[in-house]
Amino acid sequence: MTQPTEDALAVGIRELIAQAEGSDPGAVALSTIPGGASRETFLAEAGDRRWVVRRDPPGAPDSFAPLEIEFRVVQAAAAAGVPVPRPLAFESADGRLESAGFVMDHVAGTSVAPRVLRRDDLAAARRALPAQLGEALARIHSIDAREIQGVAATDSDPPLAACELWETTLDEIGEPLPAVEAGLRWLRLHPPPPATRECLVHGDFRLGNLIVAESGLAAVIDWELCHSGDPAEDIGWLCVRSWRFGNDDREVAGVGSLADLLDAYEKAGGERPSPERIRWWEAMGNVKWAVICARQAHDHLTGVRPSAELASLGRRICEPEWDLLELLPAASSASRPGAAGSEEGRLS
Amino acid sequence: MQDRPTAAELLDAMAGELYAEVREWVPHERRFRVLVLANLCAVIARELRAGDEASGRDLELFSALSGSPADDVREAATALAASIRHGDLDARLSEAISGLREHVTRKLDVARPGYR
């Protein structure tokens, strides 16, 4: 998969690294890191040194959060003590990366969630993770998003803004999902009290967007969904059952308890949100994941991104739908292990 | 009438071979995609065996909740989704949620048995 080292992109990356580091790294070999849906990611290697380059696909329309903003967010996160890959240099669309993008340090570890949850050599990491995730979230949430130029601010209260966002997205997809609509309606009618403060929210904080090494959390990556919002949003999203990959009894990303995460969150300066507030955002997280599954399947159907994997997500919508409805007050169904765990895990 | 194997039996065979053999031929970092295909074959096999009964029950449920009878289940789902969005079912929302749990259960029985 390694491309010839002398292509223009490799030369451009070598120049960028030389400029940022103050010394020429030598010839750079590039290989593609698969996985990014909307962005291209390359591994750049020179000798025993490694960097990661993230860029827009050349010629692609403007993306969610432009990479220039993402670069500034990663810089702010690094300054706030969040473990992130050290950001080196941003290059605009007319620069040496052939599209907008940035170069950062490579961080060793895995971001494949099932591996984090099962690999023997990551047992100690799993024990450390709940507290490390709490601490990292507290540091992210210490950042005032308004101080980062370009980060999307919400025009309305964050819970209401989330309802509007996913209703609009559902309308764009055009597939009827009555279970999601019922959950959304309930959440709209029972919003949490206004948040005491708004802050930077990562927007997709789960194992798939974290790099985990033997010592635990090594870096928080993929900031493209970051925005200004309610800090409880990131915590609720992290508790969504789909991110437990079968470890249903460990509600924080399949690795541990919410209490351990919140203790560390508070100790690192975060304000402990109420359980109801976190459940509200967990339920909204299930709305979000159900709608994203529908949108990905739709992207396959419309030919935007033909892929059996995306198509298969259309048959997974029912998983977050189930968890969403289980989090709402019970009308008649018996409480079951899994989604909400128990009556006290439900919203009221 | 097609000869045996039935469509579902053919899909079972495909799922088995993808899972047990083809997976091994594929580079490690791409095996996940073979698992996706094997799983899809298994899902479709269950869907074929389940037949139309689940959709019939969804049609009844959606029509009853929205109060607008329809012949087609997608049409009924669209009408119900719109009624819920507009707040027409606010007074009966918990009843709607209970009914929709059954709808989601029917989908899970095909797509991911055991998830509940």
User: Which residue in A184, A315, A322 is closest to B43 by CB distance?
Assistant: A315
Residue A240: both structure tokens together: 């969504």
Distance separating alpha carbons of residues A176 and A171, to the nearest angstrom = 9
Distance separating alpha carbons of residues A204 and B46, to the nearest angstrom = 33
Distance separating alpha carbons of residues A28 and A10, to the nearest angstrom = 6
ipTM: 0.96
pLDDT over 80 (residue A331): no
Predicted pLDDT at A61: 61
Instruction: State pLDDT tens for residues A12-36.
Output: 999 999 999 999 999 999 999 876 6
Least confident of A89-93, A274-278, A315-319, B92-96: A89-93
Predicted pLDDT at A62: 56
| A198 and A234 Cβ atoms separated by less than 8 Å | no
Percent of chain A with pLDDT over 70: 91
Predicted pLDDT at A36: 62
Percent of chain A with pLDDT over 90: 78
CA-nearest residue to A307 within chain B is B33
Instruction: State pLDDT tens for residues A260-308.
Output: 999 999 999 999 999 999 999 999 999 999 999 999 999 999 998 899 9
| A42 and A36 Cβ atoms separated by less than 8 Å | no
Q: Is B68 on the interface with A (CB under 8 A)?
A: no
Predicted pLDDT at A6: 55
Q: Is A338 on the interface with B (CB under 8 A)?
A: yes
Predicted pLDDT at A5: 43
Predicted pLDDT at A335: 42
The 8-class DSSP code of residue A120 comes to G
Residue ranges per domain, chain B?
7-50, 53-111
- Counted residue by residue, chain A has a size of 348
| A47 and A69 Cβ atoms separated by less than 8 Å | no
- Counted residue by residue, chain B has a size of 116
Q: Which domains does chain A have, with CATH numbers?
A: 28-105 (3.30.200.20), 113-345 (3.90.1200.10)
pLDDT band per the 50, 70, 90 thresholds, residue A339: very low
CA-nearest residue to A245 within chain B is B115
Instruction: State pLDDT tens for residues A213-265.
Output: 999 999 999 998 999 999 999 999 999 999 999 999 999 999 999 999 999 99
Partner-chain contact B81 A183, CB within 8 Å: no
* Torsion sign, CA atoms B3, B8, B9, B11: positive
**Exposure string (b/e) for A230-256, b if CB count within 10 Å is 16 or more?**
bbbbbbbbbbbbbbbbebeebbbbbbb
The 8-class DSSP code of residue A62 comes to P
Instruction: State pLDDT tens for residues A91-100.
Output: 998 889 988 9
Q: How far is CA A23 from CA A16, A17, A20, A71, in A?
A: 10, 8, 8, 22
